[in-house]
């Protein structure tokens, strides 16, 4: 079972991704979501959500997963 903290991070990431993705270009949205995470999320938040993605990630939207792939590739 996921911790409440991780559930909130997943929900927040998916909301950000869904809002940015409204423009239609999923790849560009993933870049913007990754930028948002780098700019505004604490390191511990990034670590927690990346660990979740790498171990399961089932609850993440596709654009959220793409954003995390970008983060992982650039760290």
Sequence ranges of the domains in the chain: 25-75
Q: What does the pLDDT read at residue 22?
A: 83
Q: Determine the Cα–Cα distance for residues 75 and 38; give it in Å rounded to an integer.
A: 11
At 6-65, the pLDDT tens digits run: 999 999 999 999 999 887 789 999 999 999 999 999 999 999 999 999 999 999 999 999
Please state the pTM of the whole predicted model: 0.92
Between CA 14 and CA 17, with CA 26 as vertex, the angle to 5 degrees is 15
Q: Which of 75, 69, 72 is nearest to 26 (CA)?
A: 69
Q: Do 48 and 6 touch, CB atoms closer than 8 A?
A: yes
Q: Determine the Cα–Cα distance for residues 63 and 18; give it in Å rounded to an integer.
A: 8
């Amino acid at each position: 079972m996921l911790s409440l903290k991780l559930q909130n991070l997943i929900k927040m990431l998916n909301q950000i991704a869904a809002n940015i993705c409204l423009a239609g270009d999923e790849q560009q949205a993933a870049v913007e979501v990754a930028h948002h995470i780098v700019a505004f999320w604490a390191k511990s938040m990034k670590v927690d959500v990346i660990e979740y993605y790498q171990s399961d990630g089932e609850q993440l939207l596709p654009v959220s997963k793409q954003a995390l792939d970008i983060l992982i590739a650039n760290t």
